[in-house]
Amino acid sequence: MATPSLLVVTNSYDERASTKALRLVTDSLRAEHGADVTVLLLRRHVSEPVRTATATFLGRPATWPGARVVDDLRRWIPAAVAERLGAGGLAHRLRGLRLRWWIRRAAPDAVLLDDGLGHRVIEHLRRKPVLIVRLNEEEPPLGSLESEVTEVADLVVAAVGIEPRRLAGHRARATPVLYEHRFRELGTMPSLARTDTRESTRTRLGLPLDAVVVSGWGGDGWLDGPDLFVRTLWALHDRHGLEAHGIWFGSQQPEEVRRLTDEAQRCGLGDRYHLAPYEGIGLAPGDATCADVVVLPTRDALLREHLLAPIVCGLTIVTFDAADLDDPAVVSAADLDIDELASLAASALKEDRVERSRAALADVDVDRWTGRLLSAVTQFRR
């Protein structure tokens, strides 16, 4: 059977992680699986007069080749006509016409509607393609309206970590759910999982090659719990006999460095405690591979996308319940329970890191994931 064609409809090419992930999905569908993919953006996010959708990521402009911006019609209405008919109403009608035309011309086997767009698009679907509804972590403003429209969805793509409440209706109707991880351009990440990069990383960071290494990070001296990290190292030694080295990627402010170094001295860690600069968004991929386990004693919720590098390296992330993360790579202790945190870290150290890395990669590798999406679509076409 031929590879199914897909129409992806999203709101705009904005800077949200969910949009970026969708972009990676469409790229992968085309490049890796040769799928015919049409992308329609309902509105332009930035206003350059170009036909290709652009957005800025990490300060650099990025394009979404082949994506069409439906709302470009608004600027084509002559001023005199707009004044007479009302620009908003006319644009709405023109947008509907254009949307319907493009959808019919694409004649897709499946339509993937990004979160919150069902009520604006579904009326234009004449032929009945496989309907995929995508639910992101952030609920859109018209999310409640959406739940009625998407009752007919054949498949739900749900972000990992989504509120269970939002899936309840689909669950009740037994709609299949395909979980979506926050894909990033993996770049060098898969190679990080190889153990041979660990040696060079440890040498660069001044860590011993033959010791157990625990890593953690965070720029906030309270919420990220750098002092709790120090005491977890103490507990690993005191309760589990592990002479683990710890490296904390954090603030380099002299006062903070002195505070944490003093704490490490009080805990008898000696030269087993190391501090390194923190870049600000999770752990830099190049640093992740130094550790055997990650300990994040946070007092606040964590963003899953910040954990991708260590997950790809096959590391278990040990944290507190406050992190509020539901992920196979994450294990949580009761808030502020250092003993339990150390116990979980000690257990994680006994697991097979290479095997965990392989499993983690399967989750975050966008090409494997789009393969699963296409086979789900193919099943419905039968």
Partner 1 sequence: MTDLRWRIVVHALDRTGPPMLAASLLRWARREHPGDTVDVVAFRGGELIDEFVRWAPTTVVLDPSEEWDARAPKASRLRVVQERCAVLPAVDVTLLVSVAASQALAVLPVTPAPVVTWAVEQGDDLHWIDDRIGLRERTTRWLAGSAGTLDALRSRLGDNAEIVVCREFVDRAERRSADERARCRLALGAGPDDLLVVGAGIGTARKGVDLFLELALRTQRHPDGRHVRLAWLGGERDDLYWRVRAETERLGLQHVRWFGNVSDVTPWLDAADVFAQTARLDAFPLVCLTAAMLGTPIVAFRGTGGVEEMLGDAFVGAPYPDVSGLAELVLSVLDGPAERQRVGAAQREAVSDRFSTAAAAPAIRGELASVVVDASGAVEGARR
**How far apart are CB 295 and partner 1 at their closest, in Å?**
15
Regarding 257 and contact with partner 1 (CB under 8 A), the answer is no
Regarding 322 and contact with partner 1 (CB under 8 A), the answer is yes
Q: In the complex with partner 1, which residue's Cβ is closer, 189 or 228?
A: 228
Q: Which residue from 211, 336, 347, 378 is in contact with partner 1, where contact means CB under 8 A?
A: 336
Q: Which tokens go with 51?
A: 């036909």
Helix, strand, or coil here: 36? coil
d(CA 271, CA 294): 19
Q: Which residue from 36, 339, 351, 367 is in contact with partner 1, where contact means CB under 8 A?
A: 339
**How far apart are CB 337 and partner 1 at their closest, in Å?**
7
**How far apart are CB 268 and partner 1 at their closest, in Å?**
9
Q: How far apart are the first and last CA of the chain?
A: 10
Regarding 338 and contact with partner 1 (CB under 8 A), the answer is yes
Regarding 258 and contact with partner 1 (CB under 8 A), the answer is yes
Contact stretch for partner 1 (CB under 8 A) within 173-181, 210-218, 260-268, 359-367: 260-268
Q: In the complex with partner 1, which residue's Cβ is closer, 119 or 259?
A: 259
Give the footprint of partner 1 on residues 261-290 (CB under 8 A).
Answer: 262-263, 266-267
Q: In the complex with partner 1, which residue's Cβ is closer, 104 or 258?
A: 258
- The full length of the chain comes to 382
Q: Which residue from 72, 299, 367, 380 is in contact with partner 1, where contact means CB under 8 A?
A: 299
d(CA 107, CA 250): 52
Distances (CA, A) of 192 to 141, 189, 204, 289, 363: 39, 5, 15, 6, 16
Residue whose pair of structure tokens reads 């979506």 in the numeric block: 180
* Interface size with partner 1, residues (CB under 8 A): 18
Runs of H (alpha helix) within the chain: 17-31, 73-76, 79-85, 87-106, 118-121, 143-149, 164-172, 189-192, 196-205, 226-240, 254-266, 285-288, 308-312, 338-349, 353-364, 366-381
d(CA 56, CA 184): 15
Q: In the complex with partner 1, which residue's Cβ is closer, 227 or 292?
A: 227
Which residues contact partner 1 (rule: CB under 8 A)?
A: 222, 227, 231, 234, 238, 258-259, 262-263, 266-267, 299, 322, 335-339
